[in-house]
């Protein structure tokens, strides 16, 4: 098979898959497979990604897929990777493709086990910040102040810092990505393919029906998340933090107020001034935290 590029016409995700229009989870899967090529086995827990790719009796993806119970994503991948090793197959990548509910909450234990063992897999969490497939219940990734069907007056606590939890396992590669910056996302998947051991990529995945914005705004919402610092694009390679170009530009130019991200979405419509202030404070705190790591690492490298 010819080498895949982001412009390649050799699609591994068929058109017309059964997602909502403008679903960034679907868009991200397309980008991921363009980078990884067809030597991939996907392990997927219950989520929007299952019905969107696999309405019986067909699948919309041209690589093997295995659907597993929520808790078993990473442990199944461990088993598949071990079987590939026994077969002497060094080419095929094992790709976990899970939502935030399946990663931050229900699949956390097996993810942690696989990360600790440095088992060979690329674990992707596409983070649409709630349990979307079952009708928008809050997850550990739902942000402060957001409406879901189980946080009807706005979530009263901040989201879990999942990237920090995974980074604490000292894995060889961690990256954040956004379908609003497809070249950056493509590059990160290409890089992850050439690494060994446990790799983690967290994708910020705007969801039009779950967040309450029109389908033609989906790319704009992802960009606003980066421009306001709600989502920071960076990598950690063997312990070294690197800010990715879109977030480096935000660092140089200055962040837009988080209110510009909030006001575009119905899930934040009932936020009070006080809640908005608190959300901005939480975003500032996390921004400072990541930037301190980036500075600390560059200082360390030059000493
Ligand atoms: C053990 C178990 N509990 C609950 C469900 C019902 N369920 C199916 S998909 C889903 C939502 C998953 O949310 P997330 O992982 O964030 O993926 P998304 O739907 O947002 O893509 C739930 C709760 C299930 N299939 N198995
Ligand atoms: S609910 Fe959201 S994540 Fe699920 S298919 Fe629709 S747009 Fe995609
Ligand atoms: Mg989700």
Question: How high is the pLDDT of residue 297?
Answer: 59
- Angle formed at CA 142 by CA 199 and CA 55, multiple of 5 degrees: 70
pTM assigned to the model: 0.96
| Res. 180: pLDDT tops 90 | yes
Let me know if residue 5 belongs to a domain: no
Mean pLDDT computed over 281-295? 94
- Binding pocket residue ranges, ligand 2, CB within 6 Å: 19-20, 23, 25, 48, 52, 128, 132-133, 207-210
Element (H, E) at 65: strand 65-68
Distance 153 CA to ligand 2 centre (A): 22
Q: Is 14 in contact with 194 (CB distance < 8 Å)?
A: no
Distance 48 CA to ligand 1 centre (A): 8
Which residue range(s) make up the domain with 285?
Answer: 24-302
Let me know if residue 7 belongs to a domain: no
pLDDT, one tens digit per residue, over 92-142 is 999 999 999 999 999 999 999 999 999 999 999 999 999 999 999 999 999
Question: How high is the pLDDT of residue 301?
Answer: 47
Identify the weakest region by mean pLDDT among 7-11, 24-28, 78-82, 189-193: 7-11
pLDDT, one tens digit per residue, over 55-97 is 888 899 999 999 999 999 999 999 999 999 999 999 999 999 9
Q: Above pLDDT 90, what percent of the chain? A: 90
Residue 166: count other Cβ atoms within 10 Å of its Cβ: 22
- Tell me which of 210, 217, 218 to substitute to probe ligand 2's pocket, judged by most ligand atoms within 8 Å of the beta carbon: 210
* Separation of CA 172 from chain center: 17
Let me know if residue 189 belongs to a domain: yes
48 lines ligand 1 (CB under 6 A): yes
Distance 67 CA to ligand 2 centre (A): 18
Q: Average model confidence (pLDDT) for the chain?
A: 95
Report the nearest-CA residue for atom 1 of ligand 2: 132
| Residue 106's CATH number | 3.40.50.970
pLDDT, one tens digit per residue, over 259-269 is 999 999 999 99
Let me know if residue 11 belongs to a domain: no
| Res. 36: pLDDT tops 70 | yes
Mean pLDDT computed over 8-27? 91
| Res. 21: pLDDT tops 70 | yes
Let me know if residue 33 belongs to a domain: yes
Q: Is 154 in contact with 271 (CB distance < 8 Å)?
A: yes
The domain tally of the chain equals: 1
Question: How high is the pLDDT of residue 235?
Answer: 97
Mean pLDDT computed over 143-169? 98
Rounded Cα gap, residues 124 and 114, in angstroms = 13
Helix (H, G, I), strand (E, B) or coil at 68: strand
- pLDDT band of 298, cuts 50, 70, 90: low
- pLDDT band of 2, cuts 50, 70, 90: low
| Res. 170: pLDDT tops 90 | yes
Let me know if residue 218 belongs to a domain: yes
Mean pLDDT computed over 45-64? 94
- pLDDT band of 203, cuts 50, 70, 90: very high
203 lines ligand 1 (CB under 6 A): no
Nearest ligand 2 atom to alpha carbon 26: 8
Rounded Cα gap, residues 175 and 248, in angstroms = 15
Q: Is 241 in contact with 176 (CB distance < 8 Å)?
A: no
- pLDDT band of 251, cuts 50, 70, 90: very high
More confident call, 250 vs 295? 250
pLDDT, one tens digit per residue, over 219-237 is 999 999 999 999 999 999 9
Question: How high is the pLDDT of residue 16?
Answer: 79
Q: Is 279 in contact with 144 (CB distance < 8 Å)?
A: yes
Question: How high is the pLDDT of residue 302?
Answer: 43
- pLDDT band of 7, cuts 50, 70, 90: confident
Closest CA to 122 of 160, 77, 67, 83: 77
Q: Above pLDDT 70, what percent of the chain? A: 96
């Amino acid at each position: 098979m010819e080498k895949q590029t982001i412009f390649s016409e050799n699609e591994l995700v068929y058109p017309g898959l059964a997602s909502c229009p403008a679903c960034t989870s679907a868009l991200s899967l397309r980008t991921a497979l363009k980078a990884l090529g067809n030597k991939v086995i996907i392990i997927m827990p219950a989520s929007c990604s299952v019905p969107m790719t696999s309405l019986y009796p067909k699948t919309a993806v041209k690589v093997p897929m295995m659907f597993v119970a929520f808790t078993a994503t990473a442990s199944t991948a461990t088993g598949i990777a071990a079987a590939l090793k026994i077969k002497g197959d060094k080419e095929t990548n094992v790709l976990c493709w899970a939502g935030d509910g399946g990663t931050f909450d229900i699949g956390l234990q097996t993810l942690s086990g696989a990360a600790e063992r440095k088992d060979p897999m690329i674990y992707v969490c596409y983070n649409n910040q709630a349990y979307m497939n079952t009708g928008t219940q809050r997850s550990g990734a739902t942000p402060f102040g957001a409406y879901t069907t189980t946080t009807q007056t706005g979530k009263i606590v901040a989201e879990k810092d999942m990237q920090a939890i995974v980074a604490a396992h000292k894995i060889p590669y961690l990256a954040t990505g956004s379908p609003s910056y497809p070249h950056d996302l493509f590059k990160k998947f290409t890089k992850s393919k050439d690494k060994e051991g446990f790799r983690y990529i967290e994708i910020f995945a705007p969801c039009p029906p779950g967040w309450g914005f029109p389908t033609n705004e989906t790319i704009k919402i992802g960009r606003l998340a980066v421009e306001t610092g709600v989502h920071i694009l960076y990598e950690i390679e063997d312990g070294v933090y690197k800010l990715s170009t879109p977030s480096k530009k935000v660092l140089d130019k200055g962040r837009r107020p988080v209110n510009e991200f909030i006001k575009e979405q119905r899930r934040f419509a009932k936020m009070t001034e006080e809640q908005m202030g608190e959300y901005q404070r939480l975003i500032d705190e996390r921004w400072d935290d990541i930037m301190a790591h980036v500075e600390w690492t560059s200082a360390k490298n030059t000493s």
